[in-house]
Amino acid sequence: MSSPIDDTPPVASARPNVGYWRANLCVIVIMMLIWATVSFGCSVFFVKPLNAWHFGSLPLGFWFGHQGAMYVFVVLVFSYAWIMDYLDKKYGVKE
């Protein structure tokens, strides 16, 4: 017969995950800052200075607003998956 206290998970097993989640949150914050800078900064706030340059035949601010921000978002998704695979191996986390 066991008491309800025996059903709680050991505290020592949760400690290694603190570093994993701290690294995960750091990656998420950096990715969100890059995404916000590119999607809002380059296509809304800095569009006039960026339009001084051209990417192909399109002004750069226009290109970021219509295509560039999506390309950067896709790169961020693949980068996040690659970084999380690295962190999973580093901290021994299995799915």
Q: Work out the pLDDT band at 34, boundaries 50, 70, 90.
A: very high
* Cα(77)–Cα(87) distance, integer angstroms: 15
For residues 61 and 47, what is the distance between their CA atoms, to the nearest angstrom? 4
**pTM for this structure?**
0.71
Of 79 and 7, which is predicted with more confidence? 79
* pLDDT over threshold 90, residue 25: yes
- Which residue in the block uniquely carries the two structure tokens 């978002």? 73
Kindly report, residue by residue over 39-67, the tens digit of the pLDDT: 888 888 888 888 899 988 889 888 888 88
pLDDT-derived band of residue 8, with 50, 70 and 90 as boundaries? low
